[in-house]
Structure 1
């Protein structure tokens, strides 16, 4: 059966979608028809935007907050910005099997088949896939494909974790199973407003990233850094050492509480670069990742 396609002529507004994402987490309200999410398979729908153009001012703001220097090509994490509104649209639909605010961004894989320049127009398509068991719940992927003139140039797989009953052993080994963060001497001092600054650029204004008070409402002792900001800042640090075509996999482990100081480290073995982010006061691993040449 061919998946149903919904086409958007512009990026969905993220603020109303963030508010919609919160509703299923509210007592009583979250159980109402039209708000409660159905349990079942991933929705059989593809959300797409065609003819996406890069706004120069937005790109400059993204580069600044994520640490990227000037470059004719877009940062490999930047197409995620064009897809984020589609991600929210998909996750806030009641046909999506999990309430958005209960999900944890566990893993993220980006494959850049070739650099995308800032003046190129591209198409974006998003779908949910591979609902599967996890020892503490379930996993589901959001798959994003970017193409130019019909040719695939970029793909992202965002793996989300939903805690709950009814899970089981993972059917495949996690991509970075057994990989540890290298020691690093590079320190990042992350301010308390980092989540608000990145949220203003990305549209991801999840309350857990904004203020200590809003984060505490969802069980965190303080607001936490966005995982995609952390991944982007890692790639910005590695920018001069990246090939033109590569896959970068990361696993998000312990959240980074803001403000804080963390250490970045990397090491290369053959064609593989392993990197990670570790706490300075407490040596807890926040992120581990690898860059490998694209197949």
Structure 2
């Protein structure tokens, strides 16, 4: 376990990540190392900026996706360490599951912990889980699992993934502006070049810049404000990227005490994200 006195500097780590994307080939075990920070406070101004970009209301409660902002620099530090076997740039964020056991408030201080685990095969390569936690007084109250895929040399076997056979009819349509990648990068620090500009995105095989997956998740979660319990799990799988600018369709359906929801291309039948929200008092 390694304690960090301050949040890692993403301005230094992302250039390192870009260079590693051209040199790291993948392979080897995951590092058995935890990064921790203690007594971390939330900057109310930063929270307000995040809420505006993701279209949450301005309140003293943290959206369930917000603590990801606090742990993301620690994730990047771990993924850019020399012993991490896969490059950050080029690793695809394919799923994210967040559980909170109660509402989190802006005036609370959190202890943060990040580690990586569960290296396993995927039909298109190898996947692993970045685990982030926020705790107060030794009790974990927020838990985040970000699953990444490193492409190449996969098992070739299809895995059951519960894909929905038909895309739902959107209940609302959102316009996603061309600059949302840059705006979200300002608040998240995630300046991966695939999100910033068409030219930099083309270097990594995208025709245009793409929206951050965690922005699409947060934007969907914002649509449920006022309808969520204090304790819940929001679990999503990222499908096809949102090429910017875009027009997307959002659909939500009640399922028992929870919801299932989808984000789709509003112009043609393509899925961008599918997810569920379930009441979840425990991890």
The verdict on a shared fold, with TM-score over 0.5 as the criterion, is yes
Question: Offset at 1:274?
Answer: 0.3
Superposed structure 1 runs of 4+ greater than 2 Å apart: 36-39, 166-170, 176-183
What are the ranges of 5 or more consecutive residues in structure 2 without an aligned counterpart?
Answer: none
Question: Is 1:15 aligned with 2:3?
Answer: no
Instruction: Give, in whole Å, the separation in 2 of the partners of 1:279 and 1:190.
Output: 11
Cα distance in 2 for residues equivalent to 1:240 and 1:276: 19
SS at match of 2:89: helix
CA contact (8 A) 2:234 2:278 kept: yes
SS in structure 2 of the partner of residue 233 of structure 1 = helix
Alignment root-mean-square deviation, CA: 1.6
In the alignment, what sits opposite 1:263? 249
Cα deviation digits, residues 179-236 of structure 1 (max 9, x gap): 8653223111111110000000000000000001110111100000000000001010
| Distance (Å, rounded) in 2 between the aligned partners of 1:136 and 1:191 | 31
- The change in CA–CA distance for 1:180 and 1:247 in structure 2 (over 3 A counts) is farther
Contact 1:248–1:290 (CA under 8 A) maintained in structure 2: yes
Aligned pair 1:216/2:202, yes or no?
A: yes
2:265 alignment partner, one of 272, 275, 279: 279
What residue in structure 1 maps to residue 222 of structure 2? 236
Q: Which moved more, 1:179-188 or 1:67-76?
A: 179-188
In the comparison of the two structures, how many residue pairs are matched? 281
CA apart distance, 1:93: 1.0
TM-score relative to the length of structure 2: 0.95
- Structure 1 stretch displaced more, 191-200 or 180-189: 180-189
Instruction: Give 1:102 deviation, angstroms.
Output: 1.8
Deviation at 1:41, TM superposition (A): 1.5
Cα distance, 1:37 vs structure 2:
6.3
